[in-house]
Structure 1
């Protein structure tokens, strides 16, 4: 990005994160960080590209592995805990809400086909599932409903 007069050089940057980037940020590669990343990227591309103008709510269980979804949403959307424009809402139903101005985007993940294997192969199979999800189309991972003039009242 070129530095323009009066503009910060590192504002408005966008980056495609690799599987390795996600694993480095999160500490390992799992399905929920990948799913959250893909959801966040979708919101950034289809609702608002400015992470200062968007808010995110991640509805999920408030413990891992489901809460790992929020890490991916942060990376993908740019909504972060530090900016205070993302929050986890404890819920048994997984979904993400994004808002920018009067527009809202609701994303509902499709069920994840977890392995029933246990033992030492389990972690490897979970990682392989996450890699597979990273290459999947958004429509195979979730449904999205953009509401242009959402009535918040």
Structure 2
């Protein structure tokens, strides 16, 4: 565990609501939800201390995939300010987390996006993101330790 040095505002945990994610990110989309869920998973099952962990988000480097990084920051506690998160341009969308000499790799399960030409696209994307927020982890991503 990270030495708090007597600080009372270190090591706090919070479950963020859909509204919290949307307020932070500017809107609610599938990739911020996925990143948040991945980050929460890694804090729960891999490394609880965001000062001992690092994250690498692999994606196209463009929205909407890059929005995964915002969710990972909120969920895992790895942040740009602490310099323990990095975005790497890649054809594959995945996240790698490292802590204490161990590595955890998380890959997204296929996502069925609504057609972009649907005039209700924004509403459908928001509905998809809200639905993903409540799904089981196993429906959203796979986890391996390699």
Question: Scaled by the length of structure 1, what TM-score is found?
Answer: 0.90
Report how far residue 102 of structure 1 moved.
Answer: 1.1
How far is the alpha carbon of 1:146 from its aligned partner? 2.8
Could you say if the C-alpha distance between residues 70 and 101 of structure 1 is closer, same or farther in structure 2, counting changes exceeding 3 Å? same
Let me know the Cα RMSD of the aligned residues: 1.3
Q: Distance in 2 between matches of 1:10 and 1:31?
A: 30
**What's the CA shift for 1:112?**
1.1
Structure with max Cα Rg: 1
Which residue in 2 is equivalent to 1:80?
A: 79
Task: Look up the match of 1:55.
Answer: 54
Q: CA deviation at 1:137?
A: 0.3
- The residue that corresponds to 1:126 in the other structure is 125
Unaligned residue ranges in structure 1 (runs of 5+): 148-153
Match of 1:100 in 2: 99
Q: CA deviation at 1:111?
A: 1.2
Structure 1 residue matching 2:105: 3-state secondary structure: strand
In the TM superposition, residue 120 of structure 1 has moved relative to its aligned partner by 3.4
Distance 2:41 2:89 in 1: 22
Q: CA deviation at 1:103?
A: 1.1
Deviation at 1:7, TM superposition (A): 1.3
TM-score using structure 2 length: 0.94
Instruction: Give secondary structure in 2 for the equivalent of 1:111.
Output: coil
Q: How many residues align?
A: 143
Unmatched segments (≥5 aa) in structure 2: none
Partner of 1:136, secondary structure, is: coil
Measured after TM superposition, the shift of residue 6 of structure 1 is 4.8
Q: Secondary structure at the match of 2:19?
A: helix
- Structure 2 residue aligned with 1:150: none
User: What is the rounded CA distance, in whole Å, between the counterparts of 2:141 and 2:5 in structure 1?
Assistant: 40
Measured in 2, the distance between the counterparts of 1:36 and 1:67 equals 10
Partner of 2:41, secondary structure, is helix
Q: Distance in 2 between matches of 1:134 and 1:81?
A: 24
Deviation at residue 17 of structure 1 after TM alignment: 0.3
